[in-house]
């Protein structure tokens, strides 16, 4: 609690107050990368669980669940059908252990909300209303069966963030973005949804200066080259070690088919490039969960402090392990 900023305390106290009153409610927490949204989730979870109450932490991706205490994917937690439709419901039966768990749950946190199809939210909403109607007859008329649900959203601009002082954010922007989250699907509605969102961003010049749109890996490489060129120090090149396992059965000479030159030319999502160029002072980001207890998780940002022959020395510049 002592580590929360004033802004974080405002979010924390608002949600805790609603949970304690059993009022129910749906919240969208906006924030750009790195302001401590996951830290708020952990604080909320610890506070409510310390009272012997239940918090369900879910996320739209498996990677994000590793950062949440007791995290599960939303599909797993709510048994959302993989072939989701407009009329789908979650496979939760009345009287089951999961149904009883949901009845006694005080808070549901859903991380990376924009990554899920809106039919997923509708299915969970429809299921909670039906599941809770025996314990609370009014649940049929309330969003998510009168449960307190918090969605985390990574915003497009730094301007759209939730603060305790309402004068510091554009309420209309937040409403429009909330509509966008619940309307966008797996790409079908993007063309019609984005204009309604961008129409409320009055300062497009701010967006142009702060947002870097990189839809392809080729553009990412160009941007990385440009950023490195701004650092006036010696560049060091690191190469991967690519080779073919010669114990494969059924291949006469695999090294003739998959040559090192071919392997080194492969560039695709999830596979590191063969050549890594770095300079001292360059910002980098981890793409794997290396040591969760030390804060070295997917998405952690670091800055290069020393470049060795086989070792990189870095300093954490994001999340709770800054420095």
Give the range with max mean pLDDT: 51-60, 135-144, 185-194.
51-60
| Distance in angstroms (rounded) separating the CA atoms of residues 241 and 274 | 8
Q: Tell me, what's the pLDDT at 33?
A: 59
Domain membership of residue 173 (yes or no) is yes
Please determine, for residue 183, whether its predicted confidence score (pLDDT) is greater than 70: no
Per-residue confidence at 29, pLDDT binned at 50, 70, 90?
confident
2-24 average pLDDT score: 84
Domain membership of residue 141 (yes or no) is yes
Decide: helix, strand or coil at residue 142. Answer: coil
Q: Tell me, what's the pLDDT at 246?
A: 64
Please determine, for residue 128, whether its predicted confidence score (pLDDT) is greater than 80: yes
Q: Tell me, what's the pLDDT at 185?
A: 45
**CATH at residue 170:** 3.40.50
Q: Are strands 54-59 and 72-73 parallel, antiparallel or unpaired?
A: parallel
pTM above 0.85, yes or no: no
- Structurally, how many domains does the chain consist of? 1
Q: Tell me, what's the pLDDT at 158?
A: 38
Domain membership of residue 80 (yes or no) is yes
Decide: helix, strand or coil at residue 304. Answer: strand
Distance of CA 26 to CAs 51, 89, 262, Å? 22, 19, 51
Please determine, for residue 25, whether its predicted confidence score (pLDDT) is greater than 80: yes
Q: Tell me, what's the pLDDT at 315?
A: 92
Q: Which residues contact 232 (CB under 8 A, 6 or more apart)?
A: none
Please determine, for residue 189, whether its predicted confidence score (pLDDT) is greater than 50: no
Domain membership of residue 315 (yes or no) is no
238-246 average pLDDT score: 76
Whether 67 contacts 297, CB under 8 Å: yes
Please determine, for residue 168, whether its predicted confidence score (pLDDT) is greater than 60: no
More confident residue, 243 or 286: 286
**Residue-range definition of the domain harbouring residue 85:** 6-207
12-35 average pLDDT score: 79
Domain membership of residue 26 (yes or no) is yes
Q: Tell me, what's the pLDDT at 236?
A: 94
In 3D space, the residue among 37, 86, 42, 78 whose CA is nearest the CA of residue 60 turns out to be 78
174-189 average pLDDT score: 49
**Tens of pLDDT, residues 297-319:** 877 889 999 999 989 999 988 76
Domain membership of residue 223 (yes or no) is no
Domain membership of residue 25 (yes or no) is yes
Q: Which residues contact 157 (CB under 8 A, 6 or more apart)?
A: 32, 201, 206, 207, 210, 211
Domain membership of residue 268 (yes or no) is no
Cα torsion angle, 79, 81, 85, 89, sign? negative
Least confidently predicted of 23-27, 78-82, 103-107, 256-260: 256-260
Q: Tell me, what's the pLDDT at 204?
A: 41
Q: Tell me, what's the pLDDT at 140?
A: 82
Give the range with max mean pLDDT: 1-10, 62-71, 248-257.
1-10
**Tens of pLDDT, residues 58-110:** 888 777 777 777 888 888 889 888 888 888 888 888 888 888 898 888 899 88
């Amino acid at each position: 609690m002592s580590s929360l900023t004033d802004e974080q305390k405002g979010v924390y106290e608002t949600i805790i107050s609603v949970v304690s009153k059993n009022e129910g409610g749906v919240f969208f927490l906006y924030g750009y990368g790195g302001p401590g949204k996951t830290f708020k989730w952990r604080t909320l979870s610890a506070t409510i669980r310390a009272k012997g109450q239940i918090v369900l932490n879910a996320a739209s991706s498996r990677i994000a669940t590793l950062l949440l205490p007791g995290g599960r994917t939303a599909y797993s937690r709510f048994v959302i059908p993989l072939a989701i439709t407009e009329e789908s419901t979650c496979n939760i039966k009345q009287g089951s252990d999961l149904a009883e768990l949901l009845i006694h749950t005080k808070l549901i946190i859903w991380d990376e909300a924009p990554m899920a199809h809106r039919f997923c939210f509708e299915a969970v909403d429809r299921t909670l209303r039906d599941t809770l109607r025996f314990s609370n007859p009014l649940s049929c008329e309330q969003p998510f069966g009168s449960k307190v649900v918090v969605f985390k959203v990574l915003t497009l601009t730094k301007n759209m963030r939730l603060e305790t002082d309402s004068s510091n954010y554009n309420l209309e922007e937040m409403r429009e973005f909330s509509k966008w989250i619940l309307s966008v699907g797996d790409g079908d509605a993007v063309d019609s949804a984005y204009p309604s969102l961008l129409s409320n961003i009055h300062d497009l010049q701010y967006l142009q200066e702060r947002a870097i749109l990189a839809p392809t890996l080729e553009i990412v490489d160009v941007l990385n080259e440009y950023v490195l060129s701004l650092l006036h120090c010696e560049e060091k090149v690191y190469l991967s070690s690519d080779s073919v396992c010669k114990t494969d059965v059924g291949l006469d000479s695999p090294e003739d088919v998959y040559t090192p030159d071919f392997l080194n030319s492969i560039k695709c999502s999830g596979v590191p490039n063969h050549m890594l160029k770095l300079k001292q002072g360059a910002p980098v980001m981890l793409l794997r969960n290396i040591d969760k207890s030390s804060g070295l998780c997917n998405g952690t940002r670091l800055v290069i402090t020393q470049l060795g022959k086989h070792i990189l020395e870095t300093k954490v510049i994001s999340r709770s392990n800054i420095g």
